[in-house]
Amino acid sequence: MNIQGQAALVTGGASGLGEATARELARLGARVAVLDVNTALAEKVAAEIGGIACACDITNTDSVNAALDKAAAAHGPARILMNVAGIGSAKRIVGKDGNAAPLEDFVRVVNVNLIGTYNISRLYAAQCAKLDPLEGGERGVMLFTASVAAFDGQVGQQAYSASKSGLVGMTLPMARDLAQHGIRVCTIAPGLFATPLLKELPEAIQQSLAASIPFPPRLGKPSEFAELACHIVANGHLNGEVIRLDGALRMAPR
Ligand SMILES: NC(=O)c1ccc[n+]([C@@H]2O[C@H](COP(=O)([O-])OP(=O)(O)OC[C@H]3O[C@@H](n4cnc5c(N)ncnc54)[C@H](O)[C@@H]3O)[C@@H](O)[C@H]2O)c1
């Protein structure tokens, strides 16, 4: 799909990998809606890229519908949905105090990362399926953002890894399901990227994380994620696939 002139939605577009993706889409000529719970940051990014900010909690169906409506009113129906919003967590299943991890933590992470992504994807897909097909019968493209933790989750990452491997598992059936509508679905599983989350860590920890990456031995740049996300949109034969973007990193147990 040619990105130029398309309307695009980016969840988590106010920060980190989502922000970089929103900027790259805009650079390539898309009309970009930045969907995020952080409305102040979403407004800032949207203003800088000539896009629109839409307050959106992906776990809340009313909120998602309102954001999809606002984006469509401003830019027309979207052909591109970049699901980048997500949250992290680290909790041992049996804590140092001997108590079981609180269930709420697991539910919260799975609810945002997996169920929230599914929620906006299903609502978006139903709208996209009604659009006229483009050349070759294509109607739209969806991206999920997993993590290498879907495959090699570390100690304490049960909730995060479960949520991200859920996205990995959903990729092929979603692509098969939406094939009849001409909508492609792919997933990127990033390794370690220099987003606000990691940049807050002490410099020494950042350096040791970077050194654990075989090549290149540095944190990934959000722009590298954004380039792959946009390539997935542009390359019409990429579908139903999960791509690790990690410099050959395999996470150690801890
Ligand atoms: N940074 C990394 O190294 C890394 C590695 C692997 C996977 N990831 C994944 O990439 C994605 C982006 O990570 P990041 O590092 O850019 O994080 P980030 O915290 O910088 O950005 C995430 C954005 O998602 C938004 N968000 C959170 N919950 C939301 C909700 N319910 N509805 C709408 N928006 C919501 C946040 O407000 C924030 O703007 C996440 O899914 C994360 O799990 C990141």
Q: Tell the CATH topology of 7-190+221-245.
A: Rossmann fold (3.40.50)
**Which is the catalytic residue, given 144, 160, 193, 225?**
160
CA–CA gap between residue 1 and residue 3 (Å, rounded): 6
| Among 197, 199, 243, 249, residue to substitute to test ligand 1 (most atoms within 8 Å of Cβ) | 197
Q: Would the CB of 221 count as within 6 Å of ligand 1?
A: no
What pLDDT sits at residue 203?
86
- Which atom of ligand 1 lies closest to the CA of 222? 16
What pLDDT sits at residue 206?
82
CA–CA gap between residue 129 and residue 77 (Å, rounded): 11
Sign of the Cα torsion 48, 77, 73, 39 reads: negative
- Which atom of ligand 1 lies closest to the CA of 60? 31
Centre of ligand 1 from the C-alpha of residue 129, in Å: 27
State how far the alpha carbon of 117 is from the alpha carbons of 12, 78, 145, 201, 225, in Å.
Answer: 11, 16, 9, 27, 18
CA–CA gap between residue 132 and residue 111 (Å, rounded): 32
What pLDDT sits at residue 201?
77
pTM of the model: 0.98
- Which atom of ligand 1 lies closest to the CA of 19? 16
Instruction: Please name the amino acid found at residue 5.
Output: G
Active site residue 118: no
What pLDDT sits at residue 208?
85
CA 239 to chain centre: 16
The residue extents of the domains of the chain are 7-190+221-245
Buried b (16+ CB within 10 A) or exposed e, 177-209: ebeebbbbbbbbbbbbbbbeebeeeeeeebeeb
What pLDDT sits at residue 251?
94
What pLDDT sits at residue 205?
81
List, for the chain, all residue ranges whose pLDDT scores fall below the cut of 50: none
Would you state the torsion angle of the CA atoms of residues 60, 62, 68, 73, taken in this order, to the nearest 10 degrees?
Answer: -150
